[in-house]
Amino acid sequence: MNFPIEDVPFSRFGSYMSLNSLPKSWNHPGITVRSMRTTSGVKDAFNCIPELNGKAVVYTCKNSGSQLTLSYKNKHIDFCYEDTDVLRIRGRGLQLRIRSCSGSNPTVFPHSKDIMQVICPQINCMYHFIPQRGEINIDFVHHVSHQNKKQKVPKGDWFTAICGADGKHWELVIHDFIGQARPLRLAKSYTAAHKSAQDAWRRFDKKTPKVPQKFTSAAHLAMFVNYTSTVGPDNMAVKRNTMLMSKNWMCQCWSWDHCINAIAHAETDPDLAWDLFQGPFDHQNAEGLLPDSYSGGGVSYNFTKPPIHGWTLSCMYRKNKKVLNPKRVKIAEQQLTAWTNWWFKHRDTDKDGLPEYRHGNDSGWDNGTVFDVGYPMVSPDLPAYLILQMDMLAELAAMQKNKKREASWRKKSDKLLETMIDKLWTGNQFLAMQGFTGKRPQQGDSLLNHIAIILGDRLPEKQRKHLIDILKPDGRFITKNGPATESPQSELYGKDSYWRGPIWGPETVMAVDGLYRAGAVKQAKEIAKRFCMMCKKDNCMAENYNAETGKGLRDRAYTWGSSAFLFCASLLTQ
253 and 111, same structural domain?
no
Same domain, 235 and 131: no
Residues (pLDDT < 50) of the chain are none
Choose one of 154, 186, 218: the last residue of a domain: 186
The whole-number pLDDT of residue 41 equals 67
Give the CATH number for residue 510.
1.50.10.10
Residue 11 falls inside a structural domain: no
Do 171 and 308 belong together in one domain? no
Specify the number of domains making up the chain: 2
Q: Tell me the angle at which helices 257-266 and 505-517 cross, rounded to the nearest 10 degrees.
A: 50
DSSP letters for 493-515: --TTSTTSS-EEHHHHHHHHHHH
The verdict on residue 525 lying in a domain is yes
If asked whether residues 374 and 491 sit together in one domain, one would say yes
Among the three residues 158, 186, 214, which one is the final residue of a domain in this structure?
A: 186
The closest alpha carbon to 426, from 413, 437, 411, 441, belongs to 441
| Within-domain flag for 503 | yes
Quick one: 144 and 228 in the same domain?
no
In this predicted model, what pLDDT tens digit does every residue of 280-310 receive, in sequence order?
999 999 999 999 999 988 999 999 999 999 9
User: Does some domain include residue 535?
Assistant: yes
53 φψ region: left (φ > 0), alpha (ψ -120 to 50), beta (else): left
Q: What is the pLDDT of residue 138?
A: 87
| Alpha helices, DSSP H, located in 347-470 | 360-363, 381-399, 403-424, 461-470
**Mean pLDDT value across the chain:** 94
Q: 327 lies in a domain?
A: yes
Report the alpha-carbon distance of residue 272 to residue 242 in Å, rounded.
Answer: 9
- The parent domain of residue 270 ranges over 202-571
Q: What is the pLDDT of residue 147?
A: 55
Q: Are residue 220 and residue 329 in the same domain, yes or no?
A: yes
**Within-domain flag for 3:** no
Domain-located, residue 125:
yes
Same domain for 114 and 209, yes or no, is: no
- 289 and 377 part of one domain: yes
- Residue-level pLDDT at 144: 61
Q: Does residue 349 sit in the same domain as residue 441? A: yes
> Residue 258, Cα to own-chain centre: how many angstroms?
7
Q: Indicate the residue among 157, 186, 215 that finishes a domain.
A: 186
List, in sequence order, every beta strand (DSSP E) within 84-225.
Answer: 86-92, 95-100, 107-110, 116-120, 125-133, 136-140, 159-163, 170-177
Instruction: Report the distance separating Cα 487 and Cα 230, nearest Å.
Output: 34
Residues 232 and 358 in one domain: yes
E strand or H helix that includes residue 427: none
Is residue 2 in a domain? no
The three-point CA angle 502-504-509 to 5° equals: 140
Together in a domain, 206 and 182: no
Same domain, 182 and 208: no
Strands 125-133 and 75-83 come out as unpaired
d(CA 499, CA 504): 8
